Amino acid sequence: MPFLTRFLLFASIALILGLGTTWRAVSGGFFATTARHGPWTFWLREGTAEADPYTIAHIAREGSLPVTAASAMTFTATRDSAGSRLTGDCTYEVKGYAIPALWWNIAAFRKNGETMPNKTGRSSFSSANILAAPDGAFVVRLSPEVQPGNWLPLERGERVALRLTVLRPLAPDVLLNAAGRVLPTITLLECS
């Protein structure tokens, strides 16, 4: 095989691998840039002066406004607690307890970050308007079909992303370190 052919082959492989790993690092993060707790992902340096290039690129791509973890924390889930992708063709149950913060909100989006259009005009629930048990336990149903209680409509055929925004967390370090016990679970109930 001539030198030029080998060079072009190896250069092509290097380019594909480089672009692929960069895309993965910017879209989903990796161990040095994110913390994962069950289905939830948190970008560790978002809103800090120490933000790495991957975090900065992720923020630019998402179009989000980064703030420090003392002011707000944003967790994102694109998979359920079992690891399957969230889709608008299924019904899910998001179960949790009151999150230790001044205010929190859980919202459903299309994978590209747009809210899902629906007749109810509802795309989120917050600590101020969610129906919860006296002990703070709550259940939110995500489904393309009408559900009783706290229901967020999903659009069939769409990939789904959930975003949990926590404003003024009472103890950001505790929330990050104990997140597996604090953050809601996402359980697949059925698909149609």
DSSP code per residue over 131-161: -B-TTS-EEEEEESS--SSEEEE--TT-BEE
Predicted model pTM: 0.77
- Look at residue 81 in the predicted model and tell me its pLDDT: 95
- Look at residue 71 in the predicted model and tell me its pLDDT: 79
- Look at residue 153 in the predicted model and tell me its pLDDT: 95
In the chain, what are the domains? Answer: 36-191 (2.60.120.600)
- Look at residue 84 in the predicted model and tell me its pLDDT: 95
- Look at residue 152 in the predicted model and tell me its pLDDT: 95
- Look at residue 112 in the predicted model and tell me its pLDDT: 76
Residues of the chain scoring pLDDT < 70: 22-35, 37, 43-49, 51, 55-56, 58-70, 172-181
- Look at residue 25 in the predicted model and tell me its pLDDT: 61
Nearest to residue 187, comparing CAs of 108, 80, 86, 79?
Answer: 80
- Look at residue 105 in the predicted model and tell me its pLDDT: 94
- Look at residue 33 in the predicted model and tell me its pLDDT: 64
- Look at residue 66 in the predicted model and tell me its pLDDT: 65
What is the strand order of the sheet 185-191 is part of? 150-153, 138-143, 90-96, 185-191
Whether 155 and 109 have beta carbons less than 8 Å apart is answered as no
- Look at residue 16 in the predicted model and tell me its pLDDT: 84
- Look at residue 67 in the predicted model and tell me its pLDDT: 67
- Look at residue 192 in the predicted model and tell me its pLDDT: 83
